[in-house]
C-alpha cells in the first residue's frame, strides 16, 4: 500500500471552477507539503502545514492530522493553474519528503 | 529572492561513465537533498545531508552514488558508473531548518540522459 494516496489522478475543469485535490497518508508526520510541478519540470513549494489551514492568494490548503488527510483547493481556477500538484508528507523522524504520485490538473479556458 | 541553482541543465553521458551533478543551495540553509524523477514517474527521495554528512538515504542511493559539499556553497551528487536506468531528472533542494522554516526550495533540475 502506498504511503501517500492522492485523488483524483487527473482532473480537467473549466476556467473559474473551484478545484479540490485530496491527499491521504499513512505515516506519522511533522508537516505536509503541497508542491506544484510545471509542464517544464520545475517544482515549486506551495504550502507547508502541520495543522489547520493556510491560504495564499487563490490557493487554500487544509490538514486534519487525526484523519491523516489534507486537501488543496483552488478558487476561481485559471488556465495558468494547469500543472501537476503533489502532496508530500514529511515524516516525524526526519525532514525528507514522501512524494505522492501527483494530480494532473488541466484548466480549460 | 534567493534561489537554488543547478548545473548543467542537461547532461548526456555514456553508460559506465561518471557524472557529477552540481547544486548551489540557498546560502543560509542547513539541510540539503537530492531527489530524482524518472520520466512519467513520481519524484523519489535519494539522500539528505546535514552538518557535512548524510543524514538519511533511500534504497536507491547505493554505492554508485555519493554526495559532497566540497566548499561552503556547492552540493554535488556523483554517480560513479552510470546505468541506463539512471536516466532521470535530478532535483536538488535545500531548507533552513531549526529556527528557519522547513519549507524546501528546489532547483530547476538536471536532466540526465544515459545512452
Mind listing the pLDDT tens digit for each residue in B2-60?
A: 899 999 999 999 999 999 999 999 988 889 999 999 999 999 999 999 888 999 899 99
For chain A, what percent of residues have pLDDT higher than 90?
Answer: 78
Confidence of residue B100 (pLDDT cuts 50, 70, 90): low
Pairing verdict, β B5-7 and A52-56? unpaired
The grid coordinates listed for A48 are 507547508
Q: How far apart are the first and last CA of chain A?
A: 37
Asked if B3 and B104 count as a contact pair (C-beta separation under 8 A), the reply is no
Mean pLDDT of chain B: 92
Q: Do A41 and B89 touch (CB under 8 A)?
A: yes
Q: Which residue among A30, A33, A102 sits closest to B104, beta carbon to beta carbon? A: A33
Decide if A33 touches B, using CB distance below 8 A.
yes
* Regions of chain A with pLDDT less than 70: 1, 92-94
Place of cell 513520481: B42
pLDDT of the residue at B101: 65
Chain B residue with minimum CA distance to A84: B42
Decide if B115 touches A, using CB distance below 8 A.
no
pLDDT of the residue at B1: 77
Q: Do B103 and A45 touch (CB under 8 A)?
A: yes
Amino acid at each position: 500500500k502506498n504511503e501517500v494516496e492522492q485523488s483524483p489522478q487527473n482532473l480537467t475543469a473549466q476556467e473559474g471552477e473551484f478545484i479540490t485535490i485530496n491527499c491521504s497518508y499513512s505515516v506519522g508526520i511533522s508537516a505536509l507539503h503541497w508542491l506544484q510541478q510545471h509542464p517544464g519540470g520545475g517544482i515549486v513549494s506551495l504550502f507547508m502545514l502541520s495543522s489547520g489551514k493556510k491560504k495564499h492568494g487563490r490557493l487554500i490548503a487544509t490538514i486534519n492530522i487525526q484523519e491523516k488527510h489534507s486537501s488543496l483547493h483552488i478558487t476561481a481556477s485559471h488556465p495558468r493553474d494547469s500543472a501537476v500538484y503533489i502532496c508530500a508528507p514529511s515524516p516525524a523522524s526526519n525532514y525528507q519528503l514522501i512524494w505522492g504520485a501527483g494530480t494532473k490538473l488541466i484548466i480549460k479556458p | 529572492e534567493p534561489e537554488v541553482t543547478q548545473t548543467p541543465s542537461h547532461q548526456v553521458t555514456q553508460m559506465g561513465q561518471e557524472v557529477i551533478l552540481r547544486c548551489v543551495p540557498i546560502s543560509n540553509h542547513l539541510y540539503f537533498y537530492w531527489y530524482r524523477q524518472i520520466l512519467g514517474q513520481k519524484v523519489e527521495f535519494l539522500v539528505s545531508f546535514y552538518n557535512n554528512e548524510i543524514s538519511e538515504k533511500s534504497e536507491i542511493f547505493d554505492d554508485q552514488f555519493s554526495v559532497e559539499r566540497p566548499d561552503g556553497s556547492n552540493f554535488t551528487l556523483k554517480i560513479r558508473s552510470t546505468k541506463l536506468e539512471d536516466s532521470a531528472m535530478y532535483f536538488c533542494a535545500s531548507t533552513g531548518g531549526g529556527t528557519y522554516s522547513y519549507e524546501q526550495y528546489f532547483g530547476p533540475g538536471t536532466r540526465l540522459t544515459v545512452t
